[in-house]
Amino acid sequence: EGDELLSTDVVEEGSDLFVVTEGGFAKRTRIDEYRVQGRGGLGIKVANLVEARGDLVGALVTEADDEVLVIMERGKIVRSAVDEVNLTGRNTQGVTFAKPDKGDRIIAVARNVERRLGEDRDTVEGEDGTGTAPGGTDTSSAPITDPTASSDEASGTEPAPGTTEETR
């Protein structure tokens, strides 16, 4: 009674479920400790909740190297690595993760996407300014073209004498 859907996410093998309460407690559990629910499933208990620790405010499917942002009602944001929370079983209460000030509470949790942005760059530059694209393709000698230029300008040909941009 009083339970509701908190979050949905895509689950990959070897992932962990990371949950946070209003009071700043978090727990991380191997995703394979939860059985798959069918269409008529009524849910699965995620944590032993006690009133003093508050309700669940967020749940994420994470990897060990992820970082999360914990957002508090008064605007404070705490950034922490997921692996700071030890793996525990399903029926545990969790450990202190972030301490809200008196009268404050955690209202949301989100994955820090900036941590992975460096890994997703299209081109990685070396010390000499040259780079390689994904797959090892050298990009240092590739011609640079203006995407707004006409096809003649992009190919390096000059317009015929006496012609204008409109008459080409």
**The pLDDT value given to residue 167:** 47
Beta-sheet strand order (sheet of 67-72): 77-81, 67-72, 106-111
Instruction: Please state the rounded mean pLDDT for residues 143-151.
Output: 46
| pTM > 0.75 | no
Per the structure block, which two tokens stand in for 136? 């090892």
pLDDT in tens, 27-43: 999 988 888 777 877 77
Write down the domain spans for the chain. Answer: 16-117, 128-155
Residue 70 contacts residue 20 (beta carbons within 8 Å): yes
Q: Tell me the CATH class for 16-117.
A: mainly beta
